[in-house]
Amino acid sequence: MQAVNIQPAKAAEEVLTAQRKLAAALNTLRSMDDVDFGVTAKEEIYREDKVVVYRFRGERAPTAKVPILIVYALVNRPYMVDLQDDRSLVKNLLAKGEDVYLVDWGYPDGADRWLTLDDYINGYIARAVDAVARHRRVRKINLLGICQGGAFSLCFAALHPHKVQNLITMVTPVDFQTPDNMLSNWVQKLDIDLFVDTLGNVPADLMNLCYLMLKPVRLNQQKYIGLVDILDNKVEMENFLRMEKWIFDSPDQAGEAFRQFLKDFYQGNKLIKGGLKIGDREVHLGNVTMPVLNVFAEQDHLVPPNASRVLADHVGTKDYTQVAFRGGHIGIYVSGRAQREVPSAIHDWLAART
């Protein structure tokens, strides 16, 4: 039997369908406005340099006594957690009565070239946590770290455990040298000092191109071919363009922080091997004694599941919970399943520890 059994009529129909979609696209794209994002109302409660802490406002007052502070990664913009009305982790958490705050890192420029991980973790995050605690008049808060922000949150929780009531990590790398971690493989032989000394801040475009190289054909071509299927659907096109904007709306990386992150986390894997120092203090995950919820994605090509799972073996808490989400690194925020499963998992877990 032949492997390919494409009937001529069907093939012709495929071509003509593509043509029709392209014709319809003309009208679709002309009628589209610039995509918006970040749908939930919010107020600024703290600002320092380019860092801003926001509090989101839900449709009803929060019932949770302890607020959640979301710490996003430096490598992308945080509005992924509040992308659009029907794809918003923030909105769903608010609907369940949580009180949600978020750290927005802004866009670092040359003035931020010398910011270190100490400045970020013991500086900005610490003061953001204090600002939220003051704002809600509580002594401890819940910290929700995402991806690189999750690694930062782990460090913060280990260094300042008395400020964290509960820790939630999402798609967070802990073991940076699992065999399936492509990014890690690529950076092992890099001369990071030469790299940062030469580039200063690491350009966002460079970061994005590296991410595209993780799956070059799928991300550079197949994705756009798939676009043909939705060209006549304005709503779907808006969703696509909104996601596209998020993917490429990336900040540059502050040079010194990038240097330490790559050397200590990726090359040294010190978060689990030990010897990681933030400022003048060493990070011991054993000091993470508060309850921990670790959520990771089973099809994550940026942070492989095994890179996250290992957290269970290193934290000092006796109250550790792990949730494996069926989806990818981005799908965990924007997929339909994510809207149903992730906020509920977080809320229920927190509620059980109130």
Q: Is 271 exposed, middle or buried (0-12, 13-18, 19+ CB in 10 A)?
A: buried
In the complex, the smallest distance separating the C-beta of residue 223 from another protein, rounded to whole angstroms, is 8
What is the identity of the amino acid at 183?
L
**Beta carbon nearer to another protein, 79 or 349:** 79
Binding residues for another protein restricted to 6-25, rule: CB under 8 A? 6-12, 14-16, 18-20, 22-23, 25
Residue from the set 32, 43, 203, 351 that interacts with another protein by CB under 8 A: 203
Name the H helices within 42-102.
89-95
Task: For another protein, give the closer residue by CB, 281 or 309.
Answer: 281
Q: Which of 149, 169, 150, 102 is nearest to 129 (CA)?
A: 102
Instruction: Please give the residues from 21 up to 60 whose contact with another protein meets the rule CB under 8 A.
Output: 22-23, 25-26, 29-30, 46-48
Q: CB-side exposure of 76: number of CA atoms within 13 Å?
A: 20
147 a catalytic residue: yes
Q: H or E segment at 197? A: helix 192-199
Do residues 240 and 230 make contact, with C-beta atoms less than 8 angstroms apart? Answer: yes
Q: What is the pattern of x (binds another protein, CB under 8 A) and - over residues 160-199?
A: xxx----------------xx-x--xxxxxxx--xx-xxx
Tell me the HSE value of 278 on the side-chain side, using a 13 A CA sphere.
28
Contacting residue, 32, 224, 326, 340, with another protein by CB under 8 A: 224
Q: Which of 53, 75, 115, 147 is catalytic?
A: 147
Q: How far is the CB of 279 from another protein (least distance, A)?
A: 9
Interface pick for another protein out of 106, 123, 268, 331 (rule CB under 8 A): 123
Residues 61-80 that bind another protein (CB under 8 A): none
Residue 297 or 342: the one with the smaller Cβ distance to another protein is 297
Residue 50: which of 140, 112, 131, 134 has the closest Cα? 112
Q: Binding to another protein by residue 299, rule CB under 8 A? A: no
Q: Considering only residues 233-252, where is the footprint of another protein by CB under 8 A?
A: 241, 244, 248
Look up residue 66 and give its two tokens.
């302890």
CA distances from 201 to 50, 246, 255, 257 (A): 15, 20, 4, 9
The DSSP letter of residue 320 is E
Q: How far is the CB of 43 from another protein (least distance, A)?
A: 15
CB nearer another protein, residue 121 or residue 146: 121
Q: Catalytic residues, which ones?
A: 147
